[in-house]
Amino acid sequence: MAREKKVEQYDVVIIGGGASGLTAGIYCGRARLKTLIIEQALVGGIATNTNDIENYPGFPEGITGIGLMNLFHQQAKKFDVKFKLTNVKTIDLSGDIKIVETFRNRFEAKTVIICNGSVPRLTGAINEEKFLGKGIAFCATCDAAANTDKEVLVIGSGDAAIEEGIFLTKFASKVMVSIIHDEGKFDCNEIAKAAALANPKMEFYHNTVVESYEGDNELDKVILKNLKTGEKKAIECATCFLFIGYLPNTSLYKDIIDMTDRGYIITDENMKTNIPGVFAAGDVRDKLLRQVATCVGDASIAGVMAEKHIAESEIFEEQIMAKDGIAYVYNAIESDQRYFLSFIEEIEEVYKDYCYHRVDTYKSEGIADRLGVESCPSVVFIKDGKVEKIICGDKCNKDEVRDIIKNNEETKK
Ligand SMILES: Cc1cc2nc3c(=O)[nH]c(=O)nc-3n(C[C@H](O)[C@H](O)[C@H](O)COP(=O)(O)OP(=O)(O)OC[C@H]3O[C@@H](n4cnc5c(N)ncnc54)[C@H](O)[C@@H]3O)c2cc1C
């Protein structure tokens, strides 16, 4: 018989414990939300794969990826964020309460922040699956020491490939680099390119791609194919490091969350996805620059928006929908939309049993959305816990509003 899953309730569940997940955790925890981060592998995520982060502000001497992520982790724990080291298997994000399930647990949350990041892209060459973890690697920091005085091959010419390749020269006797482009052409920044070209331990094979990986149990050579000449060359190496880009880790959200053709999650500038109460941050998002600094920017917004979503849900349920009344939905920075406020004060004195709410969309857009208001100003009539009627735009006629309230009050008696 299948074992019953243990159920736990949280304000926020964050899926993924990399730079984005940890930052979202810091913001939610500090806002005193009951927060859980679920991480399937290593807390710190992909940033722990890099030895030297030189462009994250606040560390003029640079810092290791592990060092920086340890600080993020420490800070999240300080705000009482809880961690579960397991992977999320299924989700149901459709209701007001979101369900996130792991092998043993069912977590119920008011909001979910998606921070799944990305996974390294593979070459698709022959025997690749066979040698994953047996000579094919993705993390120079993790595997450099094991390659001391050995010859290694790097695939790719972007920032990660060339910068990590340079780092590997501190350990390996030779770092060969397979580059798909013509002689002298790299995808990385100019500083990295110049440093690599000047490094006597580095050797470049332009116009090449991996044809196959060879070896018995462990990888011992990689066959490179020259795209121009068709010539094949066997490169003997202890490890082949793949740095040819990343793919978003979004299969869990297929057909649920809106994504680009390449599988990146689409959000607005407030990190909202197409599902209310579900936010996304970091490398998993469709955006221009995937770096720790941009993850921190995204995730701090997502954390604040999660807090706002919860606060607005509470106001909506416990105040606005709890009693018959009206909500005047307006934009306070538009002076011509403030005219109705004095009228509300007037009728508040006459029909005292009625509830009156002023909803400024500038501050509380989520409440306006929940009320189903599409344009401002609007007057929303709430009766028996439901929206009874919405009068919008220039049609917010004071006499009509007064008549509806009067009529509702009289039928109550
Ligand atoms: C080699 C390399 C060098 C880099 N150098 C720099 C640099 O110098 N400066 C810089 O700013 N940036 C650098 N970056 C980029 C930076 O590391 C990333 O932009 C950032 O770390 C991404 O963070 P993230 O939290 O969005 O995603 P990730 O770090 O990928 O975190 C996502 C986490 O989600 C977890 N996860 C996924 N699916 C599930 C699931 N179903 N259940 C539970 N957990 C799940 C994963 O295990 C992972 O830990 C580098 C990246 C690489 C690879």
Tens of pLDDT along 391-402? 876 656 788 888
Whether the pLDDT of residue 14 is over 90: the answer is: yes
pLDDT interval class at 413 (50, 70, 90): low
pLDDT interval class at 2 (50, 70, 90): low
Distance CA 47, CA 109 (A): 27
Distance 103 CA to ligand 1 centre (A): 23
Pocket of ligand 1 contains residue 293 by CB under 6 Å: yes
Burial 133-158 (b: 16+ CB within 10 A, else e): eebbbbbbbebbeebeeebbbbbbbb
Pocket of ligand 1 contains residue 117 by CB under 6 Å: yes
Q: Exposed (0-12), middle (13-18) or buried (19+): which is 397, by Cβ within 10 Å?
A: exposed
| H-helix or E-strand spanning residue 88 | none
Distance 46 CA to ligand 1 centre (A): 3
SS3 state of residue 60: coil
Instruction: Give per-residue pLDDT as tens, 57-68.
Output: 999 999 999 999
pLDDT value of residue 66: 95
Average pLDDT, the chain: 94
Q: Which of 85, 20, 61 is nearest to 285 (CA)?
A: 20
Of the chain, the percentage scoring pLDDT greater than 70 comes to 98
Determine how β-strand 98-101 pairs with β-strand 202-205: unpaired
Distance CA 125, CA 232 (A): 13
First to last CA, the chain: 57
Domains of the chain: 6-119+247-315 (3.50.50.60), 129-244 (3.50.50.60), 322-412 (3.40.30.10)
The token pair at 385 is: 């816990």
Determine the average pLDDT of the residues in 312-341: 90
Distance 56 CA to ligand 1 centre (A): 14
Whether the pLDDT of residue 411 is over 80: the answer is: no
The token pair at 34 is: 């009951």
Least confident of 11-15, 20-24, 310-314, 390-394: 390-394
Determine the average pLDDT of the residues in 97-118: 97
Distance CA 404, CA 142 (A): 70
The label of the residue with tokens 């770092």 reads 175
Instruction: Give per-residue pLDDT as tens, 362-389.
Output: 888 899 999 999 888 999 999 999 999 9
Of the chain, the percentage scoring pLDDT greater than 90 comes to 82
pLDDT value of residue 395: 59
Determine the average pLDDT of the residues in 70-79: 98
Residue to probe by mutation, ligand 1, list 15, 46, 241, most atoms within 8 Å of CB: 46
Q: Which of 13, 53, 15, 22 is nearest to 299 (CA)?
A: 22
pLDDT value of residue 338: 81
Pocket of ligand 1 contains residue 59 by CB under 6 Å: no
